[in-house]
Amino acid sequence: MSTGTVRFALIKLLVSAIVLAFLSALIIANPHSSANGIIGGLIIVVIFPSTLLFGIDASKAIKRETPSHRSVQILGKALGVPQGVFGVILVAFGVVFPIMGIRDFIETGSLGENPVFRLVYIGTAILMFSVGYHYVKESLWLLVFGRKPNNEQ
């Protein structure tokens, strides 16, 4: 087992979670600050998705390395939750994007000035839905069923 890979993935996750907690505490501690909009945008656009992705990376590293410590194995299963959350968010966006396009089509009666944007909506929706489905399926395997059988990896 290469503990360096697991350790590095867990350190990235820990640093990102600390930054997320610190920035969230700044907003809570001083709710009337003029910087809260910037901090909130930073949290929503950068820090929260990074923390989710580092959680996914750590769970995959733990699953790949199969550590002998029981606590690390439990942590690997628990880190399947961020993967499932991220998957659900992506699936939701994959469903909402086409609905936005259909709503615009109904309201305007046309595909808009440039129909290429509708194709981008559809392509993005398919991609988000597919990746989200993969993340949800993988997190369920991690949380409920443990390691995948060798023929399904």
Please, is 77 exposed, middle or buried when counting C-beta atoms within 10 Å of its C-beta (0-12, 13-18, 19+)? middle
- Please state, as a whole number, how many other Cβ atoms lie within 10 Å of the Cβ of residue 143: 16
Q: For residues 127 and 121, give the distance between their C-alpha atoms in angstroms, rounded to a whole number.
A: 10
For residues 111-130, average pLDDT: 79
For residue range 89-108, what is the model confidence (pLDDT) as tens digits? 899 988 887 777 677 667 77
Map out the domains of the chain as residue ranges: 1-72, 79-153
Task: Return the half-sphere exposure (C-beta side, CA atoms, 13 A cut-off) of residue 103.
Answer: 7
For residue range 48-63, what is the model confidence (pLDDT) as tens digits? 989 988 988 888 888 7
Q: Are 67 and 73 in contact (CB under 8 A)?
A: yes
Tokens of 74: 């439990």
